[in-house]
């Protein structure tokens, strides 16, 4: 397991992406320790005083007017965690749970939460020794923080809940013991600091961001294959066209496609004498659509980078003026907007990809490719129903792309009367990316089959490498066969980045 040292407030998207893909264990740079401990000391002082401070010596939410005696503050925090463990549904994937823990550490490291350093150390050791809390995926409305999922994460810290260690799910206390760690009794405000925050929503949104960006890069690679398969024109990829419009994503998308298609014999064979004047939009406007989607994803990325570095619990221990103040940084509205933006982009990338698939299987539009890309149509159906599957997935993603952040509902006896719905807004991105990867995998199958029908003409060397990557696992489709495993493997080649690695041409970078 790799490890990384991160500076709270200054963590980059590239670092977060490495944490996500490699499940790296993180530790906080030691420079933040003094501010963390100073804030904890001020919380301890407030807990001993007579002045009510929300969440320190009071109840929570609608019960904030109830004063709590100093000797009961630890019980208050423990009760808070246990009572808020109300998540339902499937467990959060381990990679995402670890990212949540890392994001919580980064939030604590800002020195405004008031937690003791030993809690920071315990979270770091849980990451290093592979103790991953079991966190149900449903139950958060994205304000006041991701309460239920973060409570399940925190339960393990106090020796409750469940955690996975070495692939085995154990009671929280047993999981810590197996890793030679000890649970910690929470002090004033510490339970609240753990569960008031956007780390569940942000982790899922970042996962959608990183996986979605990889899908967008794959879309450029596979769309270049489709362009050659239908003998499409590369004239619309000329640099000046895109420079005249000026959108960064569009310019980069066109450049990547030009590089992928450079040297194709198929393209050169119909440069002169082609009776077609223009290709359909799904071929001609690929940079304008996928490039625009990439620009939208980048806008969302900027928001999520800020959020990953933020202190998002409540109340916060301020330094200027020195005060402990209730605010609203737990409200995940920025994350909700970012997730909705990514969802729109994923939907559109899939929509235009599906039209390219439809183009390739239709003999009236594919420029002499056989119906449904089978050498003996009629007896064989070829990729007919694979195309129907992509239509179903495209439609599903269109429905999932409807905004979540606009759907607020009051909770907690109307104390929390506007919420972000960022949690399931971000969580649905995982499903959308999976759908998109299936669409792109099926497009890969169709485009490779189409290019092979153009023999003896050959495509470019980069695209030949991409086809070779596919054919190492999935043979060409001659006679009909059981196709489900082929679709699954094609999706995997897209999702794992194998096609991009084989293509080996420069692709637009996220940041």
Rounded CA-CA distance 102/4 in Å is 11
- 54 catalytically annotated: yes
CA dihedral 33, 36, 42, 46 (to 10 degrees): -140
Q: Judge if the upstream peptide bond of residue 321 is cis by omega within 30 degrees of 0.
A: yes
CA 343 to chain CA centroid, nearest Å: 10
Rounded CA-CA distance 140/200 in Å is 9
CA 497 to chain CA centroid, nearest Å: 15
Supply the DSSP symbol for 72: G
Other C-beta atoms closer than 10 Å to the C-beta of 44 total 16
Rounded CA-CA distance 345/332 in Å is 20
Q: Give me the sign of the Cα torsion angle 7, 12, 16, 19.
A: negative
Tell me the HSE value of 6 on the side-chain side, using a 13 A CA sphere.
31
Place of tokens 């909705």: 340
Give bridge partners of residue 6 from the DSSP assignment. Answer: 28
Place of tokens 């485009």: 447
54, 204, 438, 482: the catalytic one is 54
Q: Which residues, 6+ apart, have CB-to-CB distance to 376 below 8 Å?
A: 479
Beta strand 162-165 with 168-171: parallel, antiparallel or unpaired? antiparallel
Burial 480-491 (b: 16+ CB within 10 A, else e): eeebeebbeebb
The tokens describing 117, both together, are: 């350093």
User: Contact at 8 Å (CB) between 339 and 396?
Assistant: no
Q: Judge if the upstream peptide bond of residue 144 is cis by omega within 30 degrees of 0.
A: yes
Which of 467, 460, 499 minimizes the C-alpha distance to 259? 460
Place of tokens 């637009």: 508
Rounded CA-CA distance 459/148 in Å is 53
The tokens describing 375, both together, are: 């050498």
User: Contact at 8 Å (CB) between 447 and 361?
Assistant: no
Catalogue the active-site residues.
Answer: 54
């Amino acid at each position: 397991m790799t490890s990384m040292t991160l500076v709270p407030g200054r963590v980059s998207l590239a670092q977060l992406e490495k944490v996500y893909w490699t499940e790296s264990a993180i530790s906080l740079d030691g420079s933040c320790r003094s501010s963390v401990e100073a804030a904890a000391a001020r919380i301890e002082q407030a807990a001993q005083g007579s002045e009510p401070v929300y969440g320190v010596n009071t109840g929570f939410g609608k019960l904030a007017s109830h004063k709590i005696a100093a000797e009961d503050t630890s019980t208050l925090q423990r009760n808070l965690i246990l009572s808020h463990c109300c998540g339902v549904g499937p467990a959060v994937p381990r990679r995402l749970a670890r990212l949540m823990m890392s994001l919580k550490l980064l939030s604590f490291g800002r020195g405004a939460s008031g937690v003791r350093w030993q809690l920071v150390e315990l979270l770091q050791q849980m990451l290093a020794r592979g103790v991953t809390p079991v966190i149900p995926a449903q139950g958060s409305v994205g304000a006041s923080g991701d309460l239920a999922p973060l409570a399940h994460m925190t339960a393990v810290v106090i020796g409750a809940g469940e955690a996975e260690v070495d692939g085995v799910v154990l009671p929280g206390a047993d999981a810590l013991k197996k890793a030679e760690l000890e649970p910690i009794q929470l002090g004033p405000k510490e339970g609240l600091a753990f569960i008031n925050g956007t780390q569940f929503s942000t982790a899922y949104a970042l996962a959608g961001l990183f996986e979605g960006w990889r899908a967008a890069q794959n879309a450029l690679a596979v769309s270049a294959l489709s362009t050659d398969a239908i003998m499409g024109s590369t004239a619309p990829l000329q640099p000046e066209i895109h420079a005249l419009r000026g959108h960064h994503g569009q310019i980069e998308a066109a450049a990547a496609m030009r590089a992928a298609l450079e040297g194709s014999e198929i393209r050169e064979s119909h440069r002169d004498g082609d009776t077609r004047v223009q290709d359909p939009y799904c071929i001609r406007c690929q940079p304008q659509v996928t490039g625009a989607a990439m620009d939208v994803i980048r806008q969302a990325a900027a928001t999520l980078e800020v959020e990953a570095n933020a202190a998002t619990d409540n109340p916060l221990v301020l330094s200027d003026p020195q005060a402990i103040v209730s605010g609203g940084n737990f409200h995940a509205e920025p994350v909700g907007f970012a997730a909705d933006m990514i969802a729109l982009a994923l939907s559109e990338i899939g929509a235009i990809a599906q039209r390219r698939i439809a183009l390739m299987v239709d003999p009236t539009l594919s420029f002499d490719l056989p119906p449904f890309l089978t050498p003996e149509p009629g007896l064989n159906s070829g990729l007919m129903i694979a195309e129907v599957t992509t239509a179903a997935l495209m439609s599903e993603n269109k429905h999932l792309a409807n905004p979540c952040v606009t759907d607020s509902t009051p909770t907690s006896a109307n104390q929390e009367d506007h919420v972000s719905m960022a949690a399931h807004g971000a969580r649905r991105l995982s499903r959308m990316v999976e759908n998109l990867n299936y669409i792109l995998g099926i497009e890969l199958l169709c485009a490779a089959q189409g290019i092979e029908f153009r023999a003896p003409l050959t495509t470019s060397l980069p695209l030949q490498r991409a086809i070779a990557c596919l054919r190492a696992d999935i043979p060409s489709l001659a006679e009909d066969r059981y196709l489900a495993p082929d679709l699954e493997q094609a999706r995997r080649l897209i999702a794992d980045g194998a096609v991009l690695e084989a293509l080996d041409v420069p692709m637009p970078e996220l940041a």
